Structure 1
Amino acid sequence: MKKKLSGSICNVNINSTFNNILITLSNLKGDVLAWASAGQKGFKGAKKNTPYAASKTAQDIVEKGKKMGIKKINIIVKGTGYGRDSAIRTLSNLNVILIKDITPIPHNGCRPPKKRRI
C-alpha cells in the first residue's frame, strides 16, 4: 500500500469482460494505488464472471481505499460482462461523484465479404 491520501478524489476503473473482472484504483494522474481481480480473489473458470465475484472484488477495493483514506471516487466502466452493475453497487459504499461508461461501440460493423463469383 502506498501513503495515505486524506480526503482525495480517486478513479476506479472497472474492466468487465466475459472471462474476468479487473478493478483498478488510481489517483487523478493515473498512478495505480491498488487493484483486484476475480482471479486474484480465488474464483476460477466460469465463476470469475459472476456478479458475486464482481461484488467480492469491489469489496476488496473498497477496503483498500478506506485504508488509504479515500472518500470520493469517480467510476469508469468498460466492457460488457455480467459483473458491472454489482461492482458499481458495492463501490457505492464510498462517495461516488461520477459514473462513466467508456465501452467501445462499433458504428458501422465489419466490412462485408466480397461478392461471390461463379
Structure 2
Amino acid sequence: MKLYFLLILFTQNNIFLTLTNFKGEVLIWKSLGTLKIKGLKKLTNSFIKSFILMNLNKLKFKADAKIHVRLKGYNKTKKLFTRLLVLFLQELLTSFVDTTSDPLNGCKSKKKRRL
C-alpha cells in the first residue's frame, strides 16, 4: 500500500496542489495558473474540473494508493473544489483535514507602554 499526502493551498486568485510521499518528497507540484488563464476566470467550474482530472489521473490508476488530504487558506471556490475532489478520489481517501487558521477578530493584547 502506497501512502500519499495531497496538500492544497487556496490563495485569493489561485489554487496550488502538492503531492508528496510518506517521506515528504514532492512528487507533483501544480497550480491552477498552468492552464494559462489569468485573473478570476480560472476559478470557474469547468477549469477546476479539468484541473483535477488532468493532474490527479495518475493516482486514480494505482489501486493500492491511499491519500491524506490537507487544505489551507481561503478562496471563493474552496467548497466547490473540495466537493469535486472528494467525488474524484472517493475510494482513495483516508483522511481529510482543513488546517486553515481562523482569525481572532483582530483581538490582540495592547502594547506595553514604555516610559
Match of 1:3 in 2: none
Aligned residue for 1:46, secondary structure, equals helix
In structure 2, what residue type is equivalent to 1:107?
A: L
* Alpha-carbon distance, 1:82 to partner: 2.4
In structure 2, what residue type is equivalent to 1:38?
A: L
**Quick check: 1:100 aligned with 2:97?**
yes
The gaps in structure 2 that reach 5 residues or longer are: 111-115
Matched-pair identity in %: 33
Deviating above 6 A after TM superposition, structure 1's stretches of 4 or more consecutive aligned residues are none
Match of 1:116 in 2: none
Matched residue pairs, number? Answer: 107
Distance 1:12 1:24, change over 3 A: same
Alignment TM-score, normalising by the size of structure 2: 0.74
Distance 2:16 2:99 in 1: 15
Aligned residue for 1:82, secondary structure, equals coil
Alignment TM-score, normalising by the size of structure 1: 0.72
Distance 1:100 1:51 in 2: 23
The gaps in structure 1 that reach 5 residues or longer are: 1-6, 114-118
Higher helix share: 2
